[in-house]
Amino acid sequence: MPKIQTNGYVTYYEDDDFTAPWAARQTILIQHGFGRNSQFWRHWVPMLAGEYRVIRRDLRGHGGSADPGEAYPWSFDGLVADLATFCDALDLRDVHLLGESTGGMLAIGYVATHPSRVRSLALCGTPTTIGPAEQKFLALGHDTWQGALTQMGSEGWARKLLSQPGTAPRGDEARTEWSIQQFARAGTESLVGYSRVVSTADVTPLLAQVRVPALVLAPTRSAATPMAEQERIAAAMAQGEIVRIAGEGHEIYIDRPEECVSALGSFLAAFR
């Protein structure tokens, strides 16, 4: 359970590598989305870590990473800088970067500002911004998304969110409860701060600066990322391609992991 201090706070991450120790290896760095953490991706490790070093990183205030406190000035550039200093600290200079949901927004920001440090980009259910319609959905009947988080807390908000169609997979109560408790590990103030960042940032202008090969894993039934938006993202990147995944909702990496990993493997085969 490694931790590292970068940019003035402690970052938790997981590092799995079962590649042949005598062979050259490539690294996949996974950045989770809003409210989640590295543990949401643990079921991907057995499918990937025999061929790649797999690193999963927790954002500020999420999972095992330190909570920056109520006074922290959350910003998009600051979160991209966190990712950059983390990569510097681990000497990650040629990674395959995978960003999920709003973590994909940060990944786009990192590729646009550090193009020589990334070999490829994969986006899973990533929006360009969290617009008014999405914010209303995430407000869950409250006046604002931030108001819902403040009044319900991390756990209460997650419990209500994951009961909505088009969010988490249905039919496994134990899995849903586990997901809710993982959301609860994120500080409420951190979620409020992060929600403001992704509601005011728009990575659309940065897409043209993404020159590396890029894969969009697009959920066909997501309540947060319409297919038309996913198609626009893929088309706006110089080497973008899209694979549509017919999952139950937004979290295709949970309910369709084999399909997602197969698509990612085919995409990465060109780099072997």
Task: Say how far apart CA 210 and CA 129 lie, in whole Å.
Answer: 17
Type of residue numbered 12:
Y
pTM score, whole prediction = 0.96
- Name the class of domain 3-129+204-271: alpha beta
| Domain residue extents for the chain | 3-129+204-271
Per-residue pLDDT tens, the chain, 272 aa: give them: 699 888 788 999 999 999 999 999 999 999 999 999 999 999 999 999 999 999 999 999 999 999 998 889 999 999 999 999 999 999 999 999 999 999 999 999 999 999 999 999 999 999 999 999 999 999 999 999 999 999 999 999 999 999 988 787 777 889 999 999 999 999 999 999 999 999 999 999 999 999 999 999 999 998 888 999 999 999 999 999 999 999 888 899 999 999 999 999 999 999 87
